[in-house]
Amino acid sequence: MMKAVELAVTAQPEDFAGKLGDAVSFTVEAVGDGLSYQWQYSEDGGETWANSGLPGNKTAALTTELTEARLVYAFRCVVTDERGNSLATDAVRMTIQEPAANGVVLLDGKWVYAVDGVQDTSFTGLSENENGWWYVRNGEVDFTYTGLVENEYGVWYVSGGSFSFDVSGVLPCGDRWIYVTDGSFASWFTGLAENENGWWYIHNGEVDFGFTGLVENENGWWYVSGGSISFSYTGLVENEYGWWYVVNSKIDFGFTGLVENENGWWYVSGGSISFSYTGLVENEYGYWYVVNSKIDFGYTGTVTNEYGVWNVVNGQVIFN
């Protein structure tokens, strides 16, 4: 006569995590004589149980599909031997598995770049999450970095580790200042641009602190010195087109009169020196004899204009 095998569950069913629509299989392993199986479900956290009608409900393997409705159920199997002894397995559940983290995510208290939930320390560059774009160095967001980062779409301005398309203007970048539009380094831009510190001359996207000269924008021609407009300079300035009279750092095309610089007094007409005018010119100090647009203080003699013949001494008309 063979000895009876005591009823025992040798392998408990396990919880299932997946996505909606996945096939689910709960299995049990048991030993004993003449075993039968009945899978049950509970809707109240295991307080009460009812027999399941799902496929395999009377076998060692219950099969079904992961649906939102079944997320509230607990399942177990009651195993019975031929002598009427019964054991219930542990209760198991279905859950929706969160997708593995990818991109910039918070892991172990740090913001890192992850691939399938694992930090990728080989990655350096820009990466996006729901909070924006970030500069990642060796797999971790570098919140200390301010500068330019290049990817396949362009060169971008990063400040404090983050990048935004809303950023535009003249901005610090290491030991230089650069011009940024919509978050992108504007290496194509040459001209004048403003920030909270003033107006600057930009050459190929970078403030040119070595530049002094005249620059045009939609508001006129401006005198730039050391890369910036001071708005305080008044005097004569030269460029490739000639000499110009600047008032508060802007060429005054409406000005006609005499202006002094270190080389003498000059006749300006319509904001510029023609170097071709010879004749008498008036200012608040009197009438002066101008030769090739410059007062000739060495001239003494007579000068004729449409009003008569005038006596000039040391370049100035004497009226007595």
| Model confidence pLDDT, tens digit, residues 194-217 | 999 999 999 999 999 999 999 999
For residues 52-78, give the mean pLDDT.
96
Instruction: Specify the CATH superfamily of domain 8-96.
Output: Immunoglobulins (2.60.40.10)
pLDDT of residue 175: 92
Fold classified for 100-164: left handed beta-beta-3-solenoid (2.10.270)
CA dihedral 290, 294, 299, 303 (to 10 degrees): -10
Render pLDDT for 89-143 as a digit per residue (tens, 0 to 9).
999 999 998 777 889 999 889 999 999 889 999 999 999 999 999 999 999 999 9
Q: Give the contacts of 308 (CB within 8 A, at least 6 positions apart).
A: none
Cα distance between residue 144 and residue 159, in whole Å: 8
pLDDT of residue 228: 98
To 5 degrees, how large is the angle CA 134–CA 140–CA 145?
55
Q: Which residue bears the tokens 């990728």?
A: 120
At 1, is the pLDDT very low, low, confident or very high (cuts 50, 70, 90)? low
Cα distance between residue 121 and residue 113, in whole Å: 8
**Domain limits, the chain:** 8-96, 100-164
At 4, is the pLDDT very low, low, confident or very high (cuts 50, 70, 90)? confident
Taking Cα atoms as reference points, which of 162, 198, 160 lies closest to residue 177? Answer: 198
Cα distance between residue 104 and residue 10, in whole Å: 43
Check if 8-96 and 100-164 are the same fold: no
Q: Is the pLDDT of residue 284 over 70?
A: yes
pLDDT of residue 116: 87
Q: Please say whether the beta carbons of 23 and 63 come within 8 A.
A: yes
pLDDT of residue 2: 65
